[in-house]
Every structure is written in structure tokens, then in C-alpha cells.
Structure 1
Amino acid sequence: MRRLFPVTDQTSDSEGARDREWSLDELAEAYAYPLPDGPGAEPGAAGRAWLRGNMVSSLDGAAAHEGRSQPLSGAADMRIFGTLRGLADAVLVGAQTVRSEGYRPARAREVFARRREAAGQGPAPAIAVVSASLDLDFSQPLFTEPLVPTLVLTGAAAPADRLRRAERAGAEVVVAGDGPGVEPAQALRALAGRGFTRLLTEGGPRLLGQFAAAGVLDELCLTLSPTMAAGDAQRIAGGPALADPARFALVSVLEESGFLFTRYRRA
């Protein structure tokens, strides 16, 4: 892996500019959450959560192949995927992605243990499933075998019988919307109130589109995969178009084996 951007006179000949495999510690430094309130401040200070998205796209804009993102991924992409999880307090994911990708609980990884302990985090991020209908299989390991309790974010009009099933399965139910669905800003406030301020969403496209439309997506880590998928696969963000396109600023670009790992921050 090598860094393509930013490159300065001081870094152009550094180890970061050379094509070599980066350690997970180096990746963790490269993807560290920002300190929004100045030097020494913690992410989410004053109760504010920071939401980062992580998605992969083919060269022709597909977010998945035959319903799954894995065919577009690669070894380096999975290392970054694991690093981003290792830095997060909680991972937000849509119910459809939970079903199609066969989501399991996040696991503790020794390589991130000290970093997480120093940041006051638990051994692994919580998985927070966003679902209006709660049409979920609560017998799956995501709910029965998590290292930390799985969260279920839903709206006030969620079916009462499914709410009870979620709670019986051990999930922590978070009502974050006055209607049938989840309101993104309300969801982030609810998570921040529980101490989850370093947030990561892995999709799916509809959920990412909702966050973008609500103006709460702070950062996007986008992997451009050197693949062509064709077909009619969805883009990385779906749903209604924004009234005005949201502008993001490029933070960094890494490259390995033809994959480009970009990081953008809301301008």
C-alpha cells in the first residue's frame, strides 16, 4: 500500500509513500477519528457524534454484485474494513444489509485492544441495526451471541410484538423517530447519549442515502474497486435526490493492487 494524497515535500519520500503492506496500527493512525473541538479534545465532545461511512464501488458505480459487496472487495479493503470497525464505538447498518450480508456480531481484536481501552471504548463496537418494521431474525448470532448487546434503532410506530421479541432476544431497543421510521439526526443524538460518538455505517445504500439527505454524514471512506460489474446494481447511496448536492473535501488517498482507498470529509 502507498499513500497518493496528501503528499508534501516532507512525506513524498517517506515510508507512507512506498508500496508496502501497512500494519493495522499504521492504518488505525491514518483513519483515526478527528478531534472536532481542537487539540486534545475527544471525538463527540459536547455530546456530538461523528458519523463516518464506509462503502465500496466498482469502476462503473455498482455498490454490489448479485446483492453482495464482497465480490467487489479485496484483501486490503478488508484490512481497512476491520480497522474502521476497530476504531468505532458502534456500527450502524440497515436491516436489508443485515439479511443479505449475513451480519454477525463484531469481535474483539487484540491488535486494537489497547487503543480501545485508552479511548474508553468497550472490547468491540456494538452493531446498531436500523429497521422500521423490525422484520429481523432474532434467533441469529447477531442477537444471541454478541460480545456487546446489539442495538435496534426503530421508530415510535414499530410493531409492538416485534419490539417485545427484540427485547426478549437481548437487543437494546432505541426509539429514534416519531413515526414509522428512524430519523437520522435523532438516531445520532440517541447514540451519543449512550456514549457512542465514534460512529460508522457500512450501508446499505438506502441507509447511507438517508444519512446524506439529513446532512449528518460527516465523512465517507470510499473504496474504488478495479472491477466492472455492469447490470443494474444500486449505487452506494439511494433514496430521493438531495435538493443540492452535498460537497465533500478530499482528505486522503491510499492505493494497493489497483484499489483506491479514498477518504472525504463534509466541506
Structure 2
Amino acid sequence: MAEDGAAYPAGGTPSGSLQPLELLHEEAGQPRFGLPPELATAYGGDLGFTPPCVYANFVTSIDGVVALGPEYPSSGSAISGREPADRFVMGLLRACADVVLIGAGTLRATPGHRWTPDHVCPQAAPDFAELRRSLRRATRPELVVVTASGDVPTEHEALQSGALIATTVDGARRLDGRLPPTCHILTADEGSTLRMADVLAALHAQGHTVVLTEGGPHLIGHLLGEGLLDELFLTTSPVLAGRADTSRPGLIAGLELLPNRPTWTDLISARRRDSYLFLRYRLRTPRAHGGPRPALAH
């Protein structure tokens, strides 16, 4: 649910500049990292993950729209209304992760964005840095862009800052000599298709076991289709987006689950800030019947 940048007052801390989230529900026994005090105050409690873990973060309108279409760059900002609490949660979830995993479509749809904690919530940067030090994480999470075809905007600011491009042999050939020197190619499969299980296995081999994905909907569909998503953080914004003649996807694209492949979740945390809801779901045991795993082909 990446959004473009926004200005914030210099100095201060999350608890000094943001009204703390109100805790409505939390399942007992959740893993805890031991957040720095300022982050714990702003979040309304602690937060943690048990590796290996893949968790997603999205903002949605009341009527289930997560993106407004290709003609509206950075549409997550319009859906969230640039709510400071949503941006803080986005930054906090990034600060917990080894990597931030996105699809090439999300990269193209969000020009000027950088998938770092401080980009969306700069006033919390010192506390995010303290958290990452305590977790023995790198200074910032590594950005991983998934593209089977190798079609990425190589001039994007996020790539100029450095990223890992997960692609196929065909995609790597297309990108040969076009990427900034700060980028590296991860070739996870042969041919023109790409499986997310192979991408995650390659990331795990590099020690990246706590993976945040911010989509988009097609990437989430592939992760769900392969049974690889563990948790979902969903911000419900108090806005109605509507649909008419534009493509306005929901959380999942390219995969149908109901009625034959229902994927049930458990609500393990709920927080509120004014009319915004911040929900955390855990996916239940992967489906026993299995089924074919779709390959990423774009």
C-alpha cells in the first residue's frame, strides 16, 4: 500500500506528534520484539513476528478498493487521505522487516517513492533506527522487486538507491546493462515464468526471513495461490471509492478463492484512530487439498 512522501514537522517523536492508536483487541501470546518506548506508545502496544514470516500491508476503502487505476499514480495516498497514523504503521511494519517485496506494477504506479520506514514517517526515523539495531537488521530493509519479464522503470528513484530485482533468465537478459550499479539481479527460475516459492527460498538463503510485501494485488494473488502468505495488515480507510469504467482492484487480483478455495483468517489484532481501523489477520493452516501453483508471468 505504498504512498508517496509527505512533509512532517522536524524533530519530535511518534508519541509526541501522533495520537496513540487505541487497542481494541489483541490475541494473547503474540510474538513481541520489545519496541522502543516511543514506538510502543504510538502503536498502542508491542509488535513482533516469528520467522520465517511473510506479511502484507494494504490500505483499502470501505468498498474494497486498494488502487484507483494506472491513471492515478500513488493512489494509496488518495485512499488513505494521508492519515498520519496509517503512515506510521506503514513505517513501523517496514522497520520490522528484512526486505520489502513489491511487484513491478507497484514500482511503476508509485513514482518518487522509497520503500523505507523514514520515507513515510520521517519524524519516527530515530526510533525506527533504534528498533532495527535492536533486531540486528541492516540500516534499511532491502527492496525486492519481482518481475518475470524484466520490465521495470530503471530510472525510478528507489532503484537508484539500490534494490534486488527478482526475475527469470529471460528477464535478466532484458535488464542486462540497464540497471543502476546499486541494483543486483536475483535469477530465481528458468524461462519466462517465476514462482514466489523460489523467490522466497532465494531470500531465505541470504538470511532474509522476515518479509513484508506491499503488493500489488497480483503479487498478493501469487503468494496466496502458493500458500506463502502468513499474515495480513489491513487499514480500512473511512472513504468510499466507487467503481465505474476504470480498473480498481481489490486486495487480490488474478486468483479466485470463493466458493471452491476459501482462505479463512483469524483476527489477531484490531486498533483504531478516529474512524480508521488497523486490522491484523493471521491466515489459517494452508489448504489441505493443495492444487496447482500459478506462476508469475508478467
TM-score (normalised: structure 1): 0.82
Task: Give the one of 85, 88, 92 matched to 2:97.
Answer: 88
1:117 positional shift: 1.6
Return the alpha-carbon distance in structure 1 between the equivalents of residues 88 and 203 of structure 2: 26
Task: Give the one of 57, 60, 65 matched to 2:63.
Answer: 60
SS of residue in 2 equivalent to 1:69: helix
Residue 249 of structure 1 aligns with which residue?
A: 266
1:217 positional shift: 0.2
1:163 aligns with 2:176: yes
1:264 aligns with 2:281: yes
Task: Give the one of 14, 25, 29 matched to 1:5.
Answer: 25
SS of residue in 1 equivalent to 2:278: strand
1:135 positional shift: 1.6
Residue 203 of structure 1 aligns with which residue?
A: 215
Return the alpha-carbon distance in structure 1 between the equivalents of residues 44 and 127 of structure 2: 13
Unaligned 5+ runs, structure 1:
9-21, 36-42, 44-48
Contact 2:27 2:268 in 1 (8 A): no
State the AA in 2 paired with 1:32. Answer: L
Residue 147 of structure 2 aligns with which residue?
A: 131
1:122 aligns with 2:135: no
State the AA in 2 paired with 1:181. Answer: T
1:137 positional shift: 2.3
1:121 positional shift: 0.7
Q: Describe the shift of the 1:159–1:173 C-alpha distance in structure 2 as closer, same or farther (beyond 3 A).
A: closer
1:238 aligns with 2:247: no
Contact 1:131 1:181 in 2 (8 A): no
Q: Describe the shift of the 1:192–1:72 C-alpha distance in structure 2 as closer, same or farther (beyond 3 A).
A: same
State the AA in 2 paired with 1:139. Answer: E
Return the alpha-carbon distance in structure 1 between the equivalents of residues 281 and 143 of structure 2: 23
Contact 1:106 1:124 in 2 (8 A): yes
1:140 positional shift: 2.6
Q: Describe the shift of the 1:215–1:105 C-alpha distance in structure 2 as closer, same or farther (beyond 3 A).
A: closer
1:161 positional shift: 3.7
Return the alpha-carbon distance in structure 2 between the equivalents of residues 219 and 30 of structure 1: 18
1:58 positional shift: 0.6
State the AA in 2 paired with 1:241. Answer: E
State the AA in 1 paired with 2:283. Answer: R
1:79 aligns with 2:88: yes
Residue 153 of structure 1 aligns with which residue?
A: 166
Q: CA RMSD in A?
A: 2.2
* Number of residue-to-residue matches in the alignment: 238
SS of residue in 2 equivalent to 1:186: helix
1:181 positional shift: 3.1
Unaligned 5+ runs, structure 2:
1-20, 29-36, 119-124, 285-298
State the AA in 1 paired with 2:282. Answer: R
Q: Could you report, residue by residue, the CA deviation over 1:164-216 in whole angstroms, capped at 9, with x for unpaired residues?
A: 323x5331111123332321111111111111111101111111111111100
* Identity score, percent: 30
Contact 1:64 1:70 in 2 (8 A): no
Contact 1:143 1:169 in 2 (8 A): no
SS of residue in 2 equivalent to 1:52: strand
